[in-house]
Amino acid sequence: MDASEVGVLPDIYVRLSHDDEAGEGNIYTIRVADNGSGIPAPQIPLALCQFLFGSKYKLKQARGTFGLGGTMAILYGQVTTNKSVQIISSTGESRIYEYRLMIDIQGNRPIILDRKVHVNKQERGGHWHGTVIEFHLEGDYYKAMPKILDYVEQTAIANPYANIVFVDPKGRLYKFDRTTTNMPPPPKETLPHPHGVDVETIQRIIRITECKNMLDFLKDNFHRVGEQIARQFLKFAKIDQDKDPRRLNPDEVVELVQAMKNFNDFLPPDASCLSPLGEDLLRAGIQKELEPEFVATCQRKPSTYSGHPFIVETAIAYGGKIPSKGEIMLYRFANKIPLVYDESADVSWNVVKSINWRRYRVTPEMPVAAFVHLCSTKIPYKTVGKEIIADRPEISREILNGIREVARRLERHLSKQERVRREQKRLSIFSIYLPKIAEYSTKLSGKEKTPNIDVLLRRARTLEQERD
Amino acid sequence: MSKNEIKFSAKERRKQVLTKLGKLGHELYAQMENGRFPYIFMPSRSTDNIYYSPQFRQYILGEKRVRRSSGNIRHLRPFTQLVWSAYFAHELTGNQKTSTLRDVYYSAQAYDMSFKDQAESDNIITDVETVTGSSREDFNIFPEESSAIFGDLTIEYTIPNYEGRRLNLTSHPDGVMIGPALTSAELVETSADIVIAIEKGGLFTRFIEERVHEKFKALLIYLRGQAPRSTRYFIRRLNQEMSLPVYIFSDADPWGMHIAMVIISGSANAAHLRELTTPDARWSGVWASDIVGYKLPSDKLTNLDIKRLHELEKDPRYKDDIWQREIDVFMKIQKKCELEAFSRYGLTHIVDKYLPERLKEMES
C-alpha cells in the first residue's frame, strides 16, 4: 500500500488457496498483487529475503516499522513448508522481473533459485508496474477467518481510495471498491528529532555523516535543530562544538542521548512526515463499509510524545450496518493498518471505557462505533505483535479529546433527532385531540360549524420550538 | 298518610344539567374562536383542598382551583376526554338514556376516545361532576351496584315509555331496585312515617317477612353495604320531600358505623357535590353498647378495626356525642358484632324486642 500511494490509486489483490487439490489440509498458497511502484530488479532479492535491508535513518510515516513484515511472512512460509517464494515486479519500464527465492537463514541472505526477465508490453495506461508475491505457508484459515475478514474490511475503511479484492480458500470473493479518488498527501521524509533518538540511531548517523564537528553534526542530521539551538544544546551538554563526532566513544554517545532527552529547548517536531487520512477520507471509509445514519470525524492537531510526532484521528458512527452489541464497537488503526487483536489492552479501549457515554445520550444497546486512528513515525506498540498501543499520556489525552469531540457531535445529532421525534409526536397528539375537542365542544354548544383550529395547530408547533 | 308537597321535578333537574353542560360547550367554543387553546377552571379535588363544613354537615372543596388547558400537552388527552364525557353526558340526559360507569368506559371506544382503564374514565366523570357541580346520576350515569326499597310508597315514573305510570313499592316481595328509573321518579304518596335503612340483605328480607313495614309504618331500604350514591340521593329525597325521619341499622363495628355516617354526612370523595347527604338521618344501631346491653354474641376487634376506630375518633364528622360515646365503648370492650347476632335469641327477636325499644328511644 505504501508503495502504491505515491500518486497511484492502489489496487490490491490477495488470494489464499489450499495447496492440495481436495481443498483441505493446512498448507496454503498466498498470492498478493499490487499496482504499486514496483521494486527495482537488483533490489528484489535483498528487499524480500534479507532482514534489515537498507540502513536509512530518515523518518516518515509508514505502515510498517522496520520493513520486516514481508520478509517475516516469507520466512514463516519457508520454515513451515520449505518451499520457495515467487516474486514478479516491474517499476513500469520495459521489463518485468521474475524471481524464485529462498532465504539463507543462517547467513541472512537471499538464495536466487531462478530469475527470468519478461517484456513489459506497453498498454493503454503505459507499462504495468507493481509487485506480485506468491509463497506457501502453513495455517488454519477457518480458525483465523473472522479476524482476517475484519482485517480486510477495516483495511478498506482506512483506505477508501483503494480497490481491495480477497479470495478465500473456498473461492469466496470479498470485494471492496474505492469510493473516492482522493488520496492523503504522501508523507515527507524528515530527520530524527533529538528527543526521539536512541544510541543505535546516533551510531548509525555517525557512521555515515560527513560532518567534521559537533555543531554541524547536530545542524545537519536532526529535525528542527538550527545553529542557535545546536550551540545552546552543546553548552548544556558540555560538549565541545568543534569535536569530531566520529571520535565520540560509546560512553559519550550514551551521554549525548541522555542530554538530548533532558534538553527542553528543542523545537517540537513538525508533522509533515505524517500522512493522516483526513476527516473527509475517514468519513468516506466509514460510510463506504458501514453505511451509518450519522458519522462525525475529527483530526486532532499534531502533537508529540518523546520526540515523535503523532496525529490522532477519531470518528464516531451511528446506525447503518453497525451492530447493537450491548457495547460500543471500537475500530483501531495505526498508520492506516487495522488492529484486530487484543483490543481490551489497548489505550483506545481504556479511553472509550472511561467515558460516561450517557452524557452523550449513548446507551449500551445503541449501534455506535468509535474509530481511533493513530499516525506517527513511531507507534508505541506494547508488544512485538504490534496489535496493542501503549498508554502514553500525550496520546491518550489526544484520543480522549478526539473521541469527546465526535461524541459531542453525535450527542447533537441524537438530541436533534429526539427533538424532531418529540415534535412530531407532539404535533400528532395535537392533531389527534384538538379536532375532537372542537367537535364535541361544538355539539355541546349546539352550534353547527366547528371552529377553525388551524391557528392552534400552528401555534402548537411554535410552542415546541420556543421551548427548545 | 303523608303526601308529597315539594313537587320534585325530574324535568327541571334535567333542564338544569343540560344548561350547565351546554354552557361549558359555549365557553370552549368561544375560546377556540378567539384563537386560544380551550381551558377550564375547576375546584381542586386534591386532599389539601377538602374541608369539613359544619354548616353543610359534610365535606366540601375549598377555594383552590385548577386550570386545565388543552395547550398543555400533559393535559391534552384528559382534557379531550373531559370534553367528550361532557358531550356524552349531554347526549344521555338529552335523550333520557342511562348508562353505567362501565358502560361509559366501553362507549368511549366507539367514539375513538381511549381510556386506558375504567379507573381513568371514572375519574374523568368525576371531573365532569366537578366542573358542572352536578352528580353523575343527574346526567344519567349510574354505578353497577344497586340497593332496594320496600314499603307503601307510590311513585310515578318520568323515564321514556313509563312516563306517568305509577307503582306501589310493596308490589314485589323482594323489594324494588333503586335504579335510574326509581331515582328519577316523582314521589307521589306514602302511608309510611319513617324510613329504616339496613346494611344487610338477610335482615331486609326478615323485616319484610315480619311485616316491619306495617308494624312500624316504615319504608325499608336495603343498603347493600356502603350505599351507592343513587341510594344516598334517594334517601335524601325521602327525608326532604316526604319529611320522613331516617333510621340506619348497620353492624356494630367501625365499618358499619361508617356506612351510616356516609349516608348522613357524605364522603370526602364526593366533596365536590351536594344533595347526597341526609344530615338528619340517625344511626340507630347496632351500637357497641348494645353488645353489652343485649348480651349479643361478639368477636374480638382486630388491629385493623382498632386502627380504624382511632381514625374515626379524630374525624370531624364523628364529633357528636353518640359517635364519641360508642367509639369509647368499642375501645373499652374491644368487641364487635353483626346485625345477625340477635338471631341467637330467635329469628324474630330483633323485630319483636330490639327494634321497638330502639325506635322509641330514638323518637324521644
| Domains defined along chain B, listed by start | 7-142 (1.10.10.10), 148-363 (3.40.1360.10)
Residue A268 covered by a domain: no
Give the integer Cα–Cα distance in Å for A239 and A256. Answer: 9
Distance of CA B255 to the CA centre of its chain: 16
Q: How many CB atoms lie within 10 A of CB B249?
A: 26
Tell me what pLDDT residue B151 has. 95
Give the integer Cα–Cα distance in Å for A370 and B101. Answer: 56
The answer to whether A59 and A192 have CB atoms below 8 angstroms apart is yes
- For the stretch B88-123, what's the b/e string if a residue is b when 16 or more beta carbons lie within 10 angstroms of its beta carbon? bbbbbbeebebbbbebbbebbeeeebebeeeebbbe
The answer to whether A181 and A161 have CB atoms below 8 angstroms apart is yes
Within 8 A of B28 by CB-CB distance, chain A residues are 437, 441, 444-445
Residue A343, domain CATH: 3.30.230.10
> Are the beta carbons of B71 and A463 separated by less than 8 Å?
yes
Within 8 A of A429 by CB-CB distance, chain B residues are 73, 76-77
Tell me what pLDDT residue A175 has. 95
Tell me what pLDDT residue A267 has. 87
pLDDT tier, A24 (very low <50, low <70, confident <90, very high otherwise): confident
Shared-domain flag, residues A77 and A156: yes
Tell me what pLDDT residue A4 has. 58
Give the integer Cα–Cα distance in Å for A378 and A335. Answer: 9
DSSP A270: P
Give the integer Cα–Cα distance in Å for A382 and A69. Answer: 17
What is the three-class DSSP state of A214? Answer: helix
Tell me what pLDDT residue A284 has. 94
pLDDT tier, A52 (very low <50, low <70, confident <90, very high otherwise): low
Q: How far, CA to CA in Å, does B81 sit from each of A364, B30, B32, B90, B158?
A: 39, 19, 17, 14, 30
Look at chain A and report how many structural domains it folds into.
Answer: 4
Residue A52 covered by a domain: yes
Cis peptide before B286 (omega within 30 of 0): yes
* Catalytic residue numbers of B, as ranges: 106
Residue A272 covered by a domain: no
The answer to whether A179 and A32 have CB atoms below 8 angstroms apart is no
DSSP B4: -
pLDDT tier, A465 (very low <50, low <70, confident <90, very high otherwise): low
> What is the rounded average pLDDT of the residues A394-407?
95
Which of A119, A145, A176 represents a domain boundary (last residue)?
A176
Residue A1 covered by a domain: no
Q: How large is the C-alpha radius of gyration of chain A?
A: 29
- Domain span at residue A427 reads 414-467
Q: What is the DSSP string of A284-306?
A: HHHHHHH--SEEEEEEPPPEEET
Shared-domain flag, residues A167 and A33: yes
The answer to whether B175 and B127 have CB atoms below 8 angstroms apart is no
Contacts of B257 (CB under 8 A, 6+ apart): B250, B283, B312, B323, B326
Tell me what pLDDT residue A94 has. 87
Tell me what pLDDT residue A420 has. 87
Burial of residue A338, with CB atoms counted within 10 A of its CB: 0-12 exposed, 13-18 middle, 19 or more buried: buried
DSSP B249: E
Please give the residue of chain B at the shortest CA–CA distance from A435.
B80
Reference B334, options B296, B290, B313, B303; nearest CA is B303
Tell me what pLDDT residue B87 has. 94
Within 8 A of B33 by CB-CB distance, chain A residues are 451
Tell me what pLDDT residue B285 has. 84
Tell me what pLDDT residue B145 has. 72
Q: What is the complex's ipTM, to 2 decimals?
A: 0.78
Give the integer Cα–Cα distance in Å for B348 and B332. Answer: 29
Q: How far, CA to CA in Å, does A466 sit from each of A9, A414, A453, B68?
A: 51, 19, 20, 21
Segments of A329-418 assigned E as strands: 329-334, 337-339, 368-376
Give the integer Cα–Cα distance in Å for B236 and B234. Answer: 5
Q: Which three three-digit cell numbers place residue A133?
A: 508475491
- pLDDT tens digits for chain B (364 residues)? 444 444 456 778 888 899 999 999 999 999 999 989 999 999 999 889 999 998 888 899 999 999 999 988 889 999 999 999 999 999 999 988 888 888 888 888 888 887 888 889 999 999 999 999 888 888 888 877 779 999 999 999 988 899 889 999 999 999 999 988 898 899 999 999 999 999 999 899 999 999 999 999 999 999 998 899 889 999 999 999 999 999 999 999 999 999 999 999 998 888 888 888 999 999 998 999 999 999 999 999 999 999 999 999 999 899 988 999 999 999 999 999 999 999 888 888 899 999 999 999 988 7
Give the integer Cα–Cα distance in Å for A297 and A129. Answer: 34
Segments of A36-162 assigned E as strands: 85-91, 95-104, 109-119, 129-138
> Are the beta carbons of A429 and B24 separated by less than 8 Å?
no
- Record the pTM: 0.61
Tell me what pLDDT residue B57 has. 87
Tell me what pLDDT residue A6 has. 62
Shared-domain flag, residues A56 and A148: yes
Residue A154, domain CATH: 3.30.565.10
Residue A323 covered by a domain: yes
Residue A407 covered by a domain: yes
Tell me what pLDDT residue A64 has. 64
pLDDT tier, A464 (very low <50, low <70, confident <90, very high otherwise): low
* The pLDDT of residue A90 is above 80: yes
Shared-domain flag, residues A198 and A152: no
> Are the beta carbons of B76 and A453 separated by less than 8 Å?
no
Could you tell me what percent of chain A has a pLDDT over 90? 48
> What is the rounded average pLDDT of the residues A369-393?
90
Shared-domain flag, residues A39 and A81: yes
Tell me what pLDDT residue A3 has. 60
Tell me what pLDDT residue A377 has. 87
The answer to whether B147 and B179 have CB atoms below 8 angstroms apart is no
Phi-psi region of A54 (alpha: psi -120 to 50; beta: other; left: phi over 0): left
Shared-domain flag, residues A383 and A394: yes
Q: Which amino acid is at B359?
A: L
Which of A262, A288, A320 represents a domain boundary (last residue)?
A262
Rounded to a whole number of angstroms, the distance from the CA of A373 to the nearest CA of chain B is: 46
Question: How many alpha carbons fall within 13 Å on the CB side of residue A144?
Answer: 13
pLDDT tens profile A137-188: 999 999 999 999 999 999 999 999 999 999 999 889 999 999 999 988 888 8
Tell me the helices (H) and strands (E) count for chain A, helix number first: 11, 14
The answer to whether B276 and B232 have CB atoms below 8 angstroms apart is yes
What is the three-class DSSP state of B256? Answer: helix
Give the integer Cα–Cα distance in Å for A266 and A223. Answer: 9
Residue A267 covered by a domain: no
Q: Which of B29, B70, B76 lies at the smallest CB-CB distance from A451?
A: B29
Rounded to a whole number of angstroms, the distance from the CA of A439 to the nearest CA of chain B is: 9
The answer to whether B253 and B336 have CB atoms below 8 angstroms apart is yes
Residue A244, domain CATH: 1.10.8.50
What is the three-class DSSP state of A378? Answer: coil
Least confident of A38-42, A114-118, B215-219, B326-330: A38-42
Shared-domain flag, residues A50 and A127: yes
Contacts of A445 (CB under 8 A, 6+ apart): B22, B25, B26, B28, B29
Chain B: which residues have CB within 8 Å of chain A? 21-22, 24-26, 28-29, 32-33, 35-38, 70-71, 73, 76-77, 79-80, 83-84, 86-87, 90, 112-113
Tell me what pLDDT residue A195 has. 86
Q: How many CB atoms lie within 10 A of CB A27?
A: 16
Tell me what pLDDT residue A463 has. 61
Shared-domain flag, residues A162 and A97: yes
Residue A250 covered by a domain: yes
Shared-domain flag, residues A168 and A23: yes
| Residue for grid cell 363495628 | B253
Shared-domain flag, residues A68 and A96: yes
Shared-domain flag, residues A304 and A393: yes
Shared-domain flag, residues A64 and A94: yes
Which of A234, A262, A290 represents a domain boundary (last residue)?
A262
Contacts of B78 (CB under 8 A, 6+ apart): B68, B124, B127
Within 8 A of B24 by CB-CB distance, chain A residues are 444
Distance of CA A306 to the CA centre of its chain: 21
pLDDT: which is higher, A465 or A293: A293
